[in-house]
Amino acid sequence: MDENNKKQRRKQIIQFILVFFLSGIITGVSSFLYSREINEIICNVVMVMLGTGIVLFALVASEINGLFFYQNQGEYKNFCRFYIIALAAAALFPLLPVAGWPFLVIFVVLSLFSNSISGLIAGSVCLMLSVMLETDGSYREFFLYFFSGLVAIMVFNRLNTNFKVGLPIFISLLCLMICLTANLVLFEQEKFNLSQLTISAFNLMLTFILLLIVLKIFSNSVIHKYRERYLELNDPECPLLVQLKEKSKEEYYHAIHTAYLSDKIARSLGLDDLAVKAGGYYHRIGQLKGENTWENIEAICEEYHFPPNARKLLQEYVDPSQPMVSKEAVVILFSDRIVSTILYLFSKDSKAELDYQQIVDAVFRKKIVESHDLWQNDISLAQLQEMRRIFIEEKLYYDFLR
């Protein structure tokens, strides 16, 4: 693991060095092609490379402090690629009318592949380059796109697996329209004409189309990156679960029931239901290698390429040295305990008429009052009550456990 970390760090350093010098090269070449004086070229190169250095520092600081969005920790490749593309595009934007610069997309994509502060700084560096290269560039142009980009970053920083982007897109485009209109009405020296409105409308349309493309790429590469793998792992006929069934049918059906209840509750609470369902299926999979220790589960996770969130959840649930801090782990905890209790009672008497509400209440009372598992968890009392309600409503399902 240490050797892998060293290799990963070396790749990151190489990426940063390439980005740093490429930013200077793009700025220098574009400044020369725009026929800038030598002192302007040097100034532009220094300013953009300085800005790029700040961007790279913000990335490292964000990783150290755990401030990245959407599982971007340590994943700099996509950000670096889009940052260089954004700089190259920013060098071309001065060829377009100012009202037609699609900078909002640049701010959004750079923040999605890092976080708010890194995306804001990176987008601002790109915007600075365009303004410096534009013949009559001014602070008005900078703040026109800076504030619209800032709003876009704020509304796009909390996407989840449901990926509801309609409202963020609407708010972003509305803010851009207001900024463009204010710029045209208040700052243009010419009399307002239809061509100005046409360019702004074109910008809005182009921004909308580019946002849809960028969000599609982001969804496939980040938000739903592991969806296919989850679908394979969360199939009851997955080879790994088939092995568990061959070893112990009791453990297999325990996993099936735990996964069902965990998945239903996770969906109701708006949690990571794919990771929770995988946790329900595989929280005892270490038995395939002997004892159900985290070391055995970790080896299986490595062999079968479990998604990072599923691995983290399983470690949190199984490894006694790890505190149970996620809500997802608590969902598995209660599902596991309730299934275990009901299966145990049915093993004593398969025809027994059980009071399921009493069983659920007893499990909740024991875990909440007597256990230390929830002391460091951020789950709320309202969510615990919602979990309890769902467990009680599953009375008909519990009869399948006989």
pLDDT digits over 61-73, tens only? 877 776 666 655 5
Task: Please name the residue that has the structure tokens 């994943």.
Answer: 75
* Alpha-carbon Rg for the chain in angstroms: 27
Quick check: 252 and 277 in contact, CB under 8 A?
Answer: no
pLDDT band with cut points at 50, 70 and 90 for residue 32: very high
- Domain residue ranges in the chain: 2-223, 227-401
The CATH label, of 3.30.160, 1.10.3470, 1.10.1760, 1.10.10, for the domain at 2-223 is 1.10.1760
Output the pLDDT for position 134. Answer: 87
- Is a pLDDT exceeding 50 seen at residue 341? yes
Output the pLDDT for position 55. Answer: 92
Contacts of 369 (CB under 8 A, 6+ apart): none
Output the pLDDT for position 337. Answer: 92
Output the pLDDT for position 63. Answer: 78
Mean pLDDT of the chain: 85
Output the pLDDT for position 325. Answer: 83
Sequence letter at residue 107? F
Residues 253-263: tens digit of each pLDDT: 999 999 999 99
Which candidate, 275, 251, 245, places its Cα nearest to that of 263? 275
Output the pLDDT for position 219. Answer: 77
Of the given ranges (40-49, 63-72, 88-97, 338-347), which has the lowest mean pLDDT? 63-72
Portion of the chain with pLDDT greater than 90, in percent: 39
Which candidate, 144, 148, 156, places its Cα nearest to that of 113? 156
List of E strands, 111-192: none
- Is a pLDDT exceeding 60 seen at residue 9? yes
Task: Please name the residue that has the structure tokens 């760090």.
Answer: 9
Output the pLDDT for position 73. Answer: 54
Mean pLDDT of the 337-350 span: 88
Its pTM stands at 0.67
First-to-last C-alpha distance (Å) of the chain: 44
- Is a pLDDT exceeding 50 seen at residue 1? no
Taking CA atoms, 121 is separated from 15, 74, 111, 114, 282, in Å, by: 18, 18, 9, 11, 42
Would the CA dihedral through 225, 228, 229, 230 be positive or negative?
positive
- Is a pLDDT exceeding 60 seen at residue 225? yes
Output the pLDDT for position 349. Answer: 81
Residues 268-294: tens digit of each pLDDT: 988 888 999 999 999 999 999 888 899
pLDDT band with cut points at 50, 70 and 90 for residue 395: confident
CATH number of 227-401: 1.10.3210
Angle between helices 356-365 and 381-393 (to 10 degrees): 160
Output the pLDDT for position 5. Answer: 65
Residues 173-209: tens digit of each pLDDT: 999 888 888 776 555 545 556 666 788 888 889 999 9
Output the pLDDT for position 74. Answer: 53
